[in-house]
Structure 1
Amino acid sequence: MEGGWPARGVLSLTGSLLSTGRGNTFTIDCSGFDLHGVDPPAFQAVFDRKPFRPIIKYSVPTHVNVSFTLSVILEADAQLQLLTSFLWMNLIWDNPFISWNPEKCVGLNKLTIVAEKLWLPDIFIVESMDVDEMPSGLIAYVSSEGRIKYDKPMRVTNICNLDIFYFPFDQQNCTFTFTSFLYTVDSMLLGMDKEVWEITDMSRDVIHTQGEWELLGINKTSPKMLVGDNLYDQIMFYVAIRRRPSLYIINLLVPSGFLVAINALSFYLPAESENRAPFKMTLLLGYNVFLGTPLISMFALPSGVYFALCLSLMMLSLLETVFIAYLLHLATNQPPPCRGGSTPCCCTAPAQGNAAPLLSPPHLLFPHPHFSEPVELVGKVPGPGEAEPARGSGWTRAQREQELWVQFSHMMDTLLFLLYLLFMASCILTVIGLWNT
């Protein structure tokens, strides 16, 4: 049917609105457009050809120029590895059955026609995972030479390998492959009427993503796709985007850093203080509540390294406090040795009125800053002369042992604090180094 039209050399229309031109071209009679507007019957023959590829020689492939404008990056789903964006796909091709003389059409060089009336190339994006819901009533621009320009809005959810280890300083590279579903290279060839840098600049000017993403660049390649015995033409665009990290630095990284810093400062609380452990536990509970917010839970995977390190540091700090408290408990509560027997026993002072206990409280056993020996603030109970030296010697040794335990506990506290600072600095430098690579 289509092969018979070029042999006739003319397409007959009702009212002879489509007349013969030179060779196998056709010219629309638009002499009356300046009086009554565009006459629909003038294009009726073109509309009737909609089911068929608009070509005079069927062996000649149709050249379709493909480009797009990326306007919005809606969502990057790291868990499902999907990128949702909104773009305008621009298609340009020639229809040899549409042409008119602008001089006879009051200088009219371009018309708008409802796209549903024309043949449209079946160009789609290979990586797209959703059904394209194209709005109805889209318009195509038709020039006097028969060149058709069609802009199609698309909401695309396509598969993309999202590497979010460096969140929130991550960069993503996604692919948009445009190809035909039906037409092989014998029937359709794809090309571009714009340079890649023009597509990049246009997309960068109009992209709007609520401040989260920015477009780095777009590259392209044109490999052929072999499916069975059929060879299809395609154009692959590589889109590089980068996340703007300021929002996540303010809402995630800075608060976490503050909590870790306050936890480090808690080491300056006295080791004997009963408030150190509860204070660290409060910070740890507050950090867990902080991690449970939706903003962090949504991005738990990419920021897992950083937040896991922060949580580990706070947990190690709490364990260190428990260990030091245990050492101080041993130092201040172990029974002193007795000189009256071969085995340790509970020594009691002879009852003499309201005599004070022989074992001083733990906080009185600490060395005085101006004396080398511990200062006893509790009076001694007088007794027989022969018992005084033995009892004094036993208590002095017990006090010295307790003092050594206390000093050892303080040394361990200082050592573990230094190790904590070293580990914290190493973790911070490691995370910063990973994010900068």
Structure 2
Amino acid sequence: MPGEPTAGAPEPRQRLHPLSPALHGAKSLVVVIAGLSWSTLNRVGFGWFAAMVVVLALGATVLAVVSWYNTGYHVVGRELRVYEGLLWRRTRAIPLERLQAVEVVRPLLAQLTGLAELRLEVVGGGKTEAPLAYLGVAEAGALRQRLLVLAGRSAGTPDPAGPQAMPGSAEPTPPGRPLHAVRNVDLLVSQLLTPQAFLLPFGVAFVVAQFLSEDSWSFIAVASTLTAMAGVLLQPARRVLDDWQFQLARDAGTLRVRNGLLETRAQTVPLDRVQTVGATWPLLWRAKGWLRLRLEVAGYSALESDERNRPDRLLPVGDLATATAIVGEVLPGVRLTELPLTPPPVRARWLNPLSRAVLGAGLADTVFAARSGLLTRQLTIVPYARIQSVRVVQGPVQRWLRLATVHADTAGGAGAAARDRDLAEAWELAADLTARSHAARRG
């Protein structure tokens, strides 16, 4: 295996792929061009503008080469050590026993050059640790598997970086037992059934009408309006790109996720780190009976600036039968359609005049479930063993109505909340949750 030490000799320090500076330089070129505004082009002319871009891009490439030359990594015992820096040298030692997951990410430039980026997630990390950009695909896959084995997150079964494609599909499938593959057509339709896409024709009609009827409506104003509309559509478009060819598989005690079009991602989610499972029914999806599933996973920081780095996707879009089967894989014995949810008392309608009938909470054999939402229905499921604390909260109006909200907090963050329960029931529910969580952790 690449980088494996020989007997009696220390493991040599490994460098990143020689093409890494070129990829970093290309990314810097995009930043440089974006940073030089069109006003600069108008002032200095195209020739000087191109010269400035070339000089700045060459400077960024030189810095990338120097950074590559001084960057290295190797495994020492049960630590991954990463070395970087020229004037200020920095060595990061990452204890592998704190490692939660290692992801193989392939942005568009990396796909074109046959490279990959390795990203590590550790317990308590404020963000993704030690991104090794870039490695060869085979080297990234071998190093990923080796780190997972040393961290005790894998049984040592082969996990090639380039697995074989399923028959009739050009896309590689994640290792393990396949659970589900989302149809790209369903993914596209689901994002068309969003408020942003639904209101787009009205926005375009407004801009066209203003442009044709108002002499003072300048081209710059139209362009600004269209830019704002494009910004509104950015989230659905990014979801399509991120979840393209979404595939889910089960491998021993982990979930394997592979997704992405411009940036492919291979993620491993340890099932023993899953804190909650959430199901969401957007308003416009209900006509087709669709929902999406998401996870909360311990060890992934909620402060991560890029939400795509968090392995929270379980099912981008699917029907109830598919969702029920997937939830059963993550939480054995739990069925979405058989959770014992009961509504709050009738007087809770003063706080929730429209959504009182939707609210619900209940205790199943192994999980606590809570439902909320009017236009967008949400269901949160928390295993008893993942509950860290239980809180009973009362607002001023709740005190007057003798109601309270019971919160079951998890290490992943949000947890679940049974809203506006009868006060006596709330205290009884809190005591029951505490007892069940203690019993589940002892078991």
The bucket for the TM-score relative to the shorter chain is: under 0.3
Q: Larger C-alpha radius of gyration, 1 or 2?
A: 1
What's the TM-score once normalised by structure 2's chain length?
Answer: 0.19
What's the TM-score once normalised by structure 1's chain length?
Answer: 0.19
User: Higher strand fraction: Structure 1 or Structure 2?
Assistant: 2
